[in-house]
Structures are given as structure tokens and as C-alpha cells.
Structure 1
Amino acid sequence: MLGTTRRRQGTSLDTRHRSGRGSGASDLRAFVAVAELGSFSRAAEQLGIAPSSISQTIRNLEARLGIRLLQRTTRSVALTEAGQQLLLRVRPALAELDAALADVGQLRTRPAGMVRVRCLKHAYQRHVGPILAAFHAAYPEIKLDITVDDAIVDLVPGGYDVGFTLGEVLEKDMVAVRVGGELRQIAVASPDYLARYGTPMSPKDLHDHRCIRWRWPGNTMPYNWEFCRDGAWFEVEVDGPLIVSEQRLAVEAAMDGVGIAFWAEDMMRPLIKQGRLVALLEDWSASFPGFYLCYPQQRQMAPALRAFIDFVKDQATSR
């Protein structure tokens, strides 16, 4: 599950001799919106302008630069190589401009603006969802745009300000703040399943059981279950009648007696206490680093983003 951050290499786009005048920030914002959303209509909706207007803005920008930035079809919009290079250069420049404007805006009595957040689903349930009411009561003029997804993506290219992810998949050069304790995954099954098929006594016994597998978003192969013995971690490639893309569905199927599921202990402990599930192989299940709040290093930070980060830190400390 360890991830690496890959950056696109390429020659810079030289427009000094092609453009009769500099492109306005509004034109570049329109280009970035279309590139990120992959749609003229959605970009127009985000910017609050007509789709025909944003389409004309992009055509004018391409005409001034003398190069095509977007490939358009009736169903999709994709970046050309030049468009990809321009996006990589323009997005941080616009972010810097926004930060500069935000610094001026610090004269306001309360932070305001948009903060784009990306969370793993488990992290949202543990660390974001529970604080939303208190955060918006404290900062009513800040809007949070939250994407909840288990896919592992780079924050900056994805257009996010801050993320919540596992320590083992933190991006390089990110500021990381731990927001919770260690986690542990355990195997579980319903009492009915165990009565019918017996109880596995070691991870190798799982090969003789009906296991409910889970697939990481973007991966073609299901996740191998991880166990630990005497400080050494190892994987078990299980098999069974069901593969799901959402871990909660695996737990629901386990409660129905479909098979054995494997997920975060803290999410399943209430069901275990209710007697709907039975914990298995706990001696083989070790703890690992939990969730981190992460964001890119930056010289200037928008007040809204700073307020959100500080609020999360305070809540994590007080728990």
C-alpha cells in the first residue's frame, strides 16, 4: 500500500513570442477549472458564467498562445501536452495569488473562503464528520468542499488544500500532523457463520474459509489481508464468494453470514459488543500508525485554511 509521488517532467511552454499580450488571471482560472473538472458546463457552473462564455474564453486563450490546450470531443475534454504543462505552472501561481489576496483579507474580523479537503472514508468518519457542526459554528463564513474517497491521489495536482490519510501513504514533502491514535485491523464473522464453518485459529486457516475481499479504488486486484507475528508483518491472499469496493458492505455481508470480513477494529467493535460479529485472530492483529492531517508546505497560507488546520489540531488534542 506504500505509494510514491510521481511528477511529470517536460520542457516549459514558451509563449513569449506567441502571445501578443499576457493572459488575464480570469482566463487562466477558466482554463484551470475546465482542466480540473473535464467539462465546460461544470466549469461554467463553478465559475458562475455561461458555458458559451467559458468556451470562447478558452478559444481566445489558445489563439493568443498559438497552441491547442484542450482536446474536445462530444463526450469529453482532455488536456494536450501543452495544456498539461500550462496547468502545472499556472495552478500554483494562482494559488499564490489567492494567498496574497487572502493575506490582505486578514483585515476581516473572521476568516472566510473555500477550503478543499480530501479524506479517506474511515478518516472522515473518525476525524472530520464529528467536528463539522462545531467548526461551522466557529467559522460560519468558511465553506468546506470535502471529497470522501479511498483512492490514493496527490493533493496538489488534485486541487486539494488539505487531506486526511494514513501515515504509510503520506506524500513526500507534505506537512503531516497526527490526528489520532494507532489503528488495528481484525477479522470478524457472524456467530452463525462460525457455527456452520468453524473458527480459524491462525491466518493460514483462512484458506479454508469463505472470505469477503475488498478492492482499493483504482486497483484491479483485491487487498491482501495483513497480519503480524513477533514484530514481522506478512500478507495472506484470501479467497471467497464476494469482492466489494466498499468495506462497510463487507461488514454487512459478514453480519448476514456470507463469510469473514477484515476491517478497522474501531468501526466493528460496537457490532462485536452487540454479539452480531465475533472477533477472530486477534493475537495476529497488530497496531499501525493511524491518520494524519497533511498539506503542502507554503510560505503563505489563506486564513480559512489556517483556521481549519488549527481547529482540527485543537480537536485532536482535546480528544
Structure 2
Amino acid sequence: MRRMIHPSEFGALRAFAAVAEQRSFSRAAEQLGVSSSALSQLIRGLEERLGIRLLHRTTRSVSLTEAGTALLAEVAPAIDSLAGALEQARSAARQPTGTVRLHCFHAAADRFVVPILPKLACAFPDITLDLTIDDMVVDLVGSGYDAGIRIGELIERDMVALRLGGDIRQLAVAAPAYLAEHGVPQTPKDLLQHRCIRWRWPGQPGPYAWEFFEKGHWFSVAVEGPLITTSRAVMVDAALAGVGIAFLKEESVVDAFARGELVPLLTDWSVPFPGYYLCYPQQRQMAPALRAVIDTIHAAAPN
């Protein structure tokens, strides 16, 4: 177990080392920014606590006793080490350095993080971004992350949240071949009669129930179908192949709409909702590296 040192003794030892180095109370006092009388009291108090004289004092000179010489040999390297550590801390505050752990969903990483990686590496070469990309909903703080990117409805209340980009809209979509064979659903309830491609949050036991909006309220439909997956890319491919109806972010399939490969369905029941946020725990003193990452992502995010 480490032996504890009273806080006052740090100051006394620093004062002793300064006097020993300068061989003068007046010069040491000037170096430390204190009065000679205050410095003398610090040394006298240290000697009294130790029960031994550390300095020989005359009106003209100061010299070390044998005990003082031995103590200086022990404490001087430690004081130098502490001074170096403090300077490193000050340097870290001036130039962001260290590792920042960030968790985000696949779509958020592609949209907000991957594009800023070259800029981040160039502007902050001493920062290491430890990026975890998956669609699990994790406890950011409990899992050791510094920050995360997730949709608004999944942010803990005690988090600071910065908006990234605009709203998100999810749509039921299907290939023309599927609709030609199985018909077009006219209401969300009609989906219960269709083959649907379902998505499951990683780590969750069951598939996600599709959410729609009508008359000021959200409601969900627990669809059925031949495929459940945790991969949105697989959902897109399956929908394109005519396996069934999928429920996907509009931005991920606009090109397929333009090419006529997929058809949007039930658009009157599909309204936008708050999209992605960069979130992190409230803190008085934010590490410069984390601040640099947050500012870089937020500044580059499309409106």
C-alpha cells in the first residue's frame, strides 16, 4: 500500500529543494514567489516534523547538513519527475492527444464519421480514434465509450446531444415483381397479409415492429415474413430480389426508386422523425482529444 503524504509536506519539500539548490533563502523565495520569512517557516516546520536539522544557516550562507544532503538526493528526482508530469499535462491541454472511443451505428458511421477521418488525422495527428461500428444499443458510459452517434429516441436523458443532419423517414418498399404477384398494401394493417423482410436490433430477442403515423399518433405493426436479419444491406438485397416487403430508411433506397427497382409504399403513414445525434456524458472538464473529435464531426455534418 502506498504511504500517504500530507499535502502541506509537498510544499515544504519543494521549498527545501529550492533553498538547497540556490543556497540562499532570498533567491529561493524569489524563485517560488513567496517571502523569505514564509519560506523560513516552511523549512523550520519541516525540520520540526522530521525531528532533524536539514540546513546550516548563517547570516551569510546556507549549507546542507548530512541529513539534508541525504533527503535532497531522494526528493530532487521526485520533484523533477512531478514537474515533468505537470508539464506533460499542460502540453496535452494545448495539443489534443490520446484515444477517443466512439460507438455508432453502421449508417451513422458511413454518413458522419468516415468522411471526416482524413481531416481528423491531418489536424490532430496525436489522437487515436477507437471506432466501434455496430447496431447494438449499448450503455455508452458503462461500456467505456467517450461518445456515440445514435437516433434521437435512443439517447439517455442525462446525455448532451448535438444534432447531426436532418430528419429520418422510414418507408415500406418492395420490388415491382413482388407487387405484381402479391398486390399492393393499401394500409399498414394490410402488411399482415404480406411476406415481409424483418430487421432485428443486434442483441434483441425479437424483430423490430414497423412504426407508422396517423392522426397525431404513432402505432406499430408486428409483421411476419420469410426473413429476419440484423443487416440492413441484406434487407435491401432481399427486397431487390423480390423476397418481400422491407422497411428501410428512405435515403438508403432513393437510387433504387429512381431506377424503378423498388417502389415506395404507404407513404401517407410514413413521416419524418428526429435523426442522428452525437451524444456524450455531461462533464465539467472535457478532454481536449474528445472535444476535437466532437467539434470535427459536428462541423462537417450535413444540415
Report the Cα offset of residue 138 of structure 1. Answer: 2.2
How many angstroms apart in 2 are the aligned matches of 1:269 and 1:310? 30
1:246 aligned residue (225, 231, 248): 231
Aligned residues: percent identity?
Answer: 53
Q: In the alignment, what sits opposite 1:169?
A: 154
Q: Deviations over 1:259-311 (max 9, x none)?
A: 00001111111111122111111111011111110111112122111111111
Report the Cα offset of residue 187 of structure 1. Answer: 0.6
Pair 1:136-2:121 in alignment? yes
How many angstroms apart in 1 are the aligned matches of 2:128 and 2:2? 35
Alpha carbons 1:163, 1:294 under 8 Å: kept? yes
Q: In the alignment, what sits opposite 1:200?
A: 185
How many angstroms apart in 2 are the aligned matches of 1:315 and 1:303? 18
Q: In the alignment, what sits opposite 1:62?
A: none
Report the Cα offset of residue 103 of structure 1. Answer: 4.8
How many angstroms apart in 2 are the aligned matches of 1:102 and 1:155? 28
Alpha carbons 1:103, 1:303 under 8 Å: kept? no
Report the Cα offset of residue 133 of structure 1. Answer: 2.1
Q: In the alignment, what sits opposite 1:219?
A: 204
Pair 1:104-2:90 in alignment? yes
Alpha carbons 1:185, 1:265 under 8 Å: kept? yes
Q: Which structure would you say has the larger Rg?
A: 2
How many angstroms apart in 2 are the aligned matches of 1:215 and 1:156? 24
Q: Deviations over 1:165-193 (max 9, x none)?
A: 11111113111111111111001111111
Report the Cα offset of residue 135 of structure 1. Answer: 2.2
How many angstroms apart in 1 are the aligned matches of 2:157 and 2:91? 31
Q: Which segments of structure 1 move beyond 4 Å, counting only runs of 4 or more?
A: 100-103
How many angstroms apart in 2 are the aligned matches of 1:107 and 1:262? 46
How many angstroms apart in 2 are the aligned matches of 1:126 and 1:116? 18
Q: In the alignment, what sits opposite 2:102?
A: 117
TM-score (norm. length: structure 1): 0.66
Helix, strand or coil at the partner of 2:179: helix
Change (3 A) 1:227 1:107: closer
Pair 1:271-2:286 in alignment? no
**Gapped runs of 5+ residues in structure 2?**
4-85
Alpha carbons 2:169, 2:271 under 8 Å: kept? yes
Counterpart residue identity of residue 105, structure 1: S
Q: In the alignment, what sits opposite 1:305?
A: 290
Helix, strand or coil at the partner of 1:155: coil
Change (3 A) 1:199 1:120: same
Pair 1:259-2:244 in alignment? yes
Q: In the alignment, what sits opposite 1:314?
A: 299
Report the Cα offset of residue 245 of structure 1. Answer: 1.3
Helix, strand or coil at the partner of 2:283: coil
Q: Deviations over 1:217-258 (max 9, x none)?
A: 111111100000122110001001111111221111010110
Q: Deviations over 1:147-169 (max 9, x none)?
A: 01111111111111110011111
How many angstroms apart in 2 are the aligned matches of 1:146 and 1:310? 16
Pair 1:282-2:267 in alignment? yes
How many angstroms apart in 2 are the aligned matches of 1:282 and 1:101? 60
Report the Cα offset of residue 129 of structure 1. Answer: 1.6
Report the Cα offset of residue 107 of structure 1. Answer: 5.9
2:163 aligned residue (170, 173, 178): 178
Alpha carbons 2:200, 2:206 under 8 Å: kept? yes
Alpha carbons 2:161, 2:278 under 8 Å: kept? yes
TM-score (norm. length: structure 2): 0.69
